[in-house]
Amino acid sequence: MRLLVTRPEPEANPLAARLRANGYDVLVAPLTRIVLAAEPAGLPKPAAIAVTSRNGARSVASWSAATSWKGATIYAVGAATAAEARMGGFSDVRTASGDVEALADLIGRDFDPTAGPLLYAAARDRSADLAALLPDVRVVTVEAYAAEAVPRLNPEVVEALRDGTLDGVLLFSSRAAQILVDLATATGVREALAKPAMYALSKQVAQPLRAVSGARVLVAAHPNEGSLLALVNPALAQSS
């Protein structure tokens, strides 16, 4: 079984290695490149910090100002993001169940809005507005990183699509899914996207794929890597 891993580094190659160790033929062709933003100037000291991805957590941890924030509560969208925050030196990390709505619910129940501002380390291109989900909280949104689209599909991916030798595509973001559709259209292989199974992390990630006629889209039961890999083979989830 031949799978395409589309997520950016540094996650792409460890995931590919795990799949290969389980007998899968894997193409690694990230559809985005993560660029961390420069540390913003003049930020107020936050009462708490919200992160919706590993990259948001990495970006905040790299800021010099964050050396004095390590005791602040971090609200993380899911377990992988929470683990990244802990690796960055934050000790009080509280974890939601994997999507922005669940994160907003956690913050709404747990955070005291009179304590001060909530810093949201966001992506430049984002499909959900955390601040809008928290109308009673002063949310300071900072664009902490950008997922830059690759300019074209990897030639090996184009060949595999044309030859019908690609069995599945792993998609972790709606932005990556949209980029895949756009680049496949530009390359003349959009119709070929109907052959491989499209493994989507969530319904939101799956949405851009609905534009592909005949696409076989499978959506993970929960928005995490283990649930996504379980779509390919339940045994894979045990190692996630």
Domains of the chain as residue ranges with CATH:
2-31+150-239 (3.40.50.10090), 34-147 (3.40.50.10090)
Q: Are strands 139-149 and 32-36 parallel, antiparallel or unpaired?
A: antiparallel
Beta-strand (E) ranges in the chain?
Answer: 2-5, 25-28, 32-36, 48-51, 73-76, 93-95, 118-123, 139-149, 168-171, 197-200, 216-219
Confidence of residue 239 (pLDDT cuts 50, 70, 90): low
Chain-centre distance for alpha carbon 213: 25
In the sheet with 197-200, reading across from the earlier edge strand, the strands are 25-28, 2-5, 168-171, 197-200, 216-219
Residue 240 has pLDDT above 60, yes or no: no
The pTM assigned to this predicted structure is: 0.86
pLDDT digits (tens, 9 = 90+) for 137-189: 999 999 999 999 999 999 999 999 999 999 999 999 999 999 999 999 999 99
Please write the tens of the pLDDT for every residue from 103-142.
999 999 999 999 999 999 999 988 789 999 999 999 999 9
